[in-house]
Chains A and B, each alone.
Chain A
Amino acid sequence: MSITLTIDGTEITVPEGTSVWDAAKQMGHDVPVLCHDEKLEPVGVCRMCVVEVEGARTLVASCVRECEEGMVVRTGSEVVERNRKTLTELLLADQPEESAREATTGDDQLFALARQYGIETPRFPAGNGRPVDDSSPVIAVDHQACILCDRCVRACDDIQSNLVIGRTGKGYSARIGFDLDNPMGASTCVECGECAAACPTGALINKPITVAIEPKPLKEIESVCPYCGVGCALTYKVDEEANKVVYAEGREDTANEARLCVKGRYGFDYATHKHRLTKPLIRKDAHYPKQALTGAMQRKDDGTRTNGVYPDYEKALGAFREATWDEALELVASKLSAIRDEHGGDALAGFGSAKCSNEEAYLFQKMIRAVFKTNNVDHCTRLCHASSVAALLETIGSGAVTTVYNDIRNADVALVTGSNATANHPVAATFFKEAARNGTKLIIVNPHRPELADHGEYVRLRPGGDVAFYNAIMNVILEEGLEDRAYIEQYTENFDALKETVARYTPEIAAPMCGIEPDKIREIAITIGKANAFLVFWGMGISQHLHGTDNARSLISLCLMTGNVGRPGTGLHPLRGQNNVQGASDAGLIPMVFPDYAPVEDPEVRAKYEAAWNVGLDPNPGMTVVEIAHAAEEGSLKGMYIMGENPFLSDPNVQRARDAFMNLDFLVVQDIFLTETAEVADVVLPATSYFEKTGTFTNTDRRVQLGQTALTPPGEARLDWEILCDVMTRMGYPQSYERIEDVFIEFSDLTESYKGLRYEHLLGRGKLWPCPDPENSEGEVVLFGDGFPTPTGRGKFSPAEVLPPEEMPDADFPFILNTGRTLQHWHTGSMTRRAKALDAINPEAFCEVHPEDLAALGVEDGGMVRLSTRRNSIRVKARASTKTSKGSVFIPFHYREASANLLTSDALDPFGKIPAFKFSALKVEPA
């Protein structure tokens, strides 16, 4: 129904339910607001937006008042203006003398109104005596500047679903409060900054991260967050003179809807850290043979922190001398060429990184394949979703997600398993929490209790119990007849094999294997079976197992069997970790495939690339990450090029990997810091950080977005793609591009998924591949509505059996070790531990142990423990936490001084070649 009313003498017709404020806005009237923000539910508490409605007893708040038929509204009459002016004056009386917002970003809405109404000195008594709160590392709170508009409360509750802020007290002493009125820094606040972004006054403002935030013109660079696979679109405000990002803001009209997490909003300053490499480095002759890493890798025995947080720069740099680019590149080219010519291309290998842009990833694999003459090229995706991708390719013919994370809004049941989304995909998690509030049933399956468990039904799985659990779920679904017969008939194959397997996994049989009661299994199976739209999100908790591929197969079978692929609110979404996991894989940083997952063994495919690159190519698939380390250990691999990866912390059983890489004849590392890996390089090439280059990044949704240059590189640091071109040229394969977009065009034209995309399409919201018509469409949101890209066009059930993990706990190693990440840190910490705010919030290594286990060891919360596996042992602070179950220990792997990967095993899943980071038998002792 529509409604016609008159606003300021003009008639307007609007849909029923439109607020007077919205209607006035449509007509171009700018009715001032304080408590209203179009992103938030209107609450109507400030009365700044009052208008005169003919016949009404009082002025009405237009932001909350719905339009009525025949209403006559005046938005700017004298009485209205007088009211607004007095209100401004009243509010101003209590403000601190200077607005902290005016002094920083210069956009205090109350002070702007004061200027508009010409209010200088309010006539009312001043000061409410409310306190300031400086306890948060990123947000300054001044309760005195708070006008109780409720915007931060709604931002925290409704947008980020963190539920930290409320109101306390009443009357004149009312103010906002964090949790139980704690200081902000001692509350459950996760520093997402949404409240400061929503606050109209100086009550909540961002603290400076790099230079002071001042109200002066800043360059605005539309870009994408450099951290996780959610790929939040944001704008960097850049001080060109200082060459620093001053602050960051989420961009509206994007998939993330302007939301950011603490890393995206406050973690940008690593780019200008003093440790940045500015000159090429060559190892001094006196520093052979290579030494172990610098700095204690652990705390000292007295518990004080040594320089273990990063490599000991002075000492590590002492092993190198500065060189010119010419000398360094010549050395790299000659050494690598010599190895290739003497031992063949397979004596060389390269690690790219999922932090690289699509362009860099494409060029890197081109260099390895066309110039090094080998397919030994891999990257960290091997360590995260290789098994998921193996299972997806095998069953449905495509490794990408079938729908976007936002699509959870259309799901009535969503399963989030093996994922600590609030820490690792924080902004996607805000959409999960929001969906849960709006009626989507969340089922959270995880051995380690994630925060998300507060927002849905949590099921604590026994570590390694995944296949048993999902087989039993499918068993019940079949038993109850809840499978989608028609879908199975039309779109799948091999169903009988699945049926036969899951028939053996009744809930009673599975219960002891997965640690979940049979009745609970039944209940969950029925919930999933009855859902109209069921969506699965999974993370490393599924993939990083010796049976990671089997785990993923089970989830795929579950969706296929219930017909939950290819419709809105349904599908399979392995949450990608890095900002460009999807893109780096799409671009071919994988030993067995060219871009677009085209197999290297396929002669037709090879012919296509041989023609495109004008060179003969190796027909044999190359080695994967851990296999490369093993080849280096055994000596058949002689030289490596590592761009942007830090295997010296990230590889499993890392001491073995370190020894192996130290054994190489020649190692070149291209990075922005002297990472643990760079410490033992022969040549280190100083590269550009994310902020200093332009390139495309493909997020977990398959969304291709453009990251744009915000800063100029320090010293002689050079663009990564230019370095790669120079190395190729010097190795006898001349490469040059006029601009980076030419690399993208070459890449996209060789693929089906990126075909037709150009930079001009990738601003704003970016594009979801495939996107055949980028001029008019955003690309495909939901894939596979009508069959799959497999040879038969059908999705293939691939049944999985329960197999024991490689190393069972025993009397000597009775605990189970689980590794993972935290909200504030990124992988090996080379970026985030150099980001001021992130390091301040999360400064030191820890592990989580169940309070009862800790008590049994006689260790206090916060005391030190020694963790040992069959491989190695570390000393680390223990936190008592019921997030982990009895008998399990959780440790984040970011910390050099207590490197979790000294403990993990390098045994591999046979299909995805992914190591079992999530399961090692462990001994815990007081230390």
Chain B
Amino acid sequence: MSATPPRAPAAAPKDVEARQPAPTPVAFPPAALKDECEAILSRYPTRQAALIPILLLAQGHYDNWVSPEVEAGVAEYIGVSDSHVRGVLSFYSMFNLKPAGKHEVWVCRTLTCWLRGAAKLRDTALEKAQAERAGVVGEDGKFLVKNMECLGLCEVAPAVFVDGVAHTNVTNEKLVELMDACE
């Protein structure tokens, strides 16, 4: 309609990447996780409330990432929709929706750390990981470097987590050392 306000052109939309529909859900939980899943469920008032801890458990079990098959399996197990699980998974940065590296390096990118040179840390990490950008596994599959929002360690910024362990006042040298120490 002509009433459309004229304005600067928007970025051209790209086509949605065609994905295979309806993954076959894995049978979840696998035998190895059964007891632990039940223990987690028993701690929460509803099944839905246990979704995040169960997803973390699943990610740990399946090579540090949650495939669509695992997502669908967890959705079935918890009794929520696929879209609900995807909403939670894609919201929290500790979940990986693509195959992840053997080790994870989280570099904080929020204000305090950034002012204290976190951008350089990230570049160093990416270079060591031989990764194109944050969120993409390096060529040898060893490291996944992720940009994170404030890690809650601003008073000892810049902060980095390597495989879930916090490191503070990190320098370039220290980061290289930490990554070298990874097998």
Chain A residues at the B interface, C-beta cutoff of 8 Å:
92-99, 102-103, 106, 111, 114-115, 119-122, 126-135, 142-144, 157, 163-170, 177-183, 186-188, 215
Contacts and interface: CB of A to CB of B under 8 A. Distances in A.
Given A97-B4, A102-B3, A120-B6, A180 B86 contact: yes
Contacts of A102: 1, 3-4
A186 B23 CA distance: 11
A120 B7 contact: yes
B58 interface: no
B10 A122 contact: no
Contact of B16 (A114, A122, A133): A133
Interface stretch (B49-57, B76-84, B105-113, B155-163): B76-84
Interface in B116-167: none
Contacts of A181: 19, 86, 90
A97 B9 contact: yes
Given A133-B16, A166-B83, A168-B87, A188 B22 contact: yes
Most-contacted residue by chain A among B3, B7, B20 (CB, 10 A): B7
Contacts of A163: 81, 83-84
A166 B7 contact: no
A183 B3 contact: no
A133 B91 CA distance: 22
Given A164-B83, A166-B81, A168-B86, A120 B5 contact: yes
Contact of B9 (A126, A133, A165, A167): A126
Given A181-B86, A183-B16, A121 B7 contact: yes
A164 B19 CA distance: 16
Nearest to A112: B3
B19 A131 contact: no
Contacts of A97: 4, 6-7, 9-10
A172 to B, nearest CB: 12
B82 A179 contact: yes
Contacts, number: 127
B59 to A, nearest CB: 15
B95 to A, nearest CB: 12
A131 B83 contact: no
Interface in B1-55: 1, 3-16, 18-23
Contacts of B11: 126-129
Contacts of A168: 86-87, 90
B1 A144 contact: no
30 contacts: A99-B4, A102-B3, A102-B4, A111-B4, A111-B5, A114-B5, A120-B5, A120-B7, A121-B8, A122-B5, A129-B12, A132-B16, A134-B15, A142-B13, A144-B10, A163-B84, A166-B84, A166-B86, A167-B91, A168-B90, A177-B86, A180-B68, A180-B71, A180-B82, A180-B83, A183-B18, A186-B21, A186-B22, A187-B21, A215-B1
A179 B10 contact: no
A170 B16 CA distance: 18
Nearest to B7: A121
- If over half of A's interface residues share one DSSP class (helix, strand or loop), that class is named, otherwise mixed; here it is loop
A102 B22 CA distance: 33
A102 to B, nearest CB: 4
B13 A132 contact: yes
Contacts of A98: 4
A135 to B, nearest CB: 7
Contacts of A96: 10, 13
A120 B5 CA distance: 5
B72 interface: yes
Nearest to B67: A180
A121 B4 contact: no
Nearest to A125: B8
A179 B3 CA distance: 35
A170 B82 CA distance: 17
Contact of A167 (B3, B12, B71, B87): B87
B10 A94 contact: yes
B41 to A, nearest CB: 19
Nearest to A115: B3
Nearest to A93: B7
Contact of B15 (A106, A131, A187, A188): A131
A372 B11 CA distance: 71
A435 B145 CA distance: 47
Given A98-B4, A121-B7, A144-B10, A132 B15 contact: yes
B133 to A, nearest CB: 14
B179 to A, nearest CB: 27
A97 B9 CA distance: 6
Contacts of A143: 13
B9 A177 contact: no
A369 B49 CA distance: 66
Given A92-B5, A180-B68, A180-B72, A129 B13 contact: yes
B90 A169 contact: yes
A525 B14 CA distance: 56
Contact of B1 (A106, A121, A165): A106
Most-contacted residue by chain B among A119, A181, A187 (CB, 10 A): A181
Most-contacted residue by chain B among A142, A164, A186 (CB, 10 A): A186
Contacts of B85: 180
Nearest to A101: B1
A182 B13 contact: no
B83 A178 contact: yes
Nearest to B21: A186
A264 to B, nearest CB: 24
Contact of B19 (A120, A129, A186): A186
Contacts of A165: 83
A696 to B, nearest CB: 39
Contacts of A134: 15
Contacts of A169: 90-91
Contacts of B18: 135, 183, 186
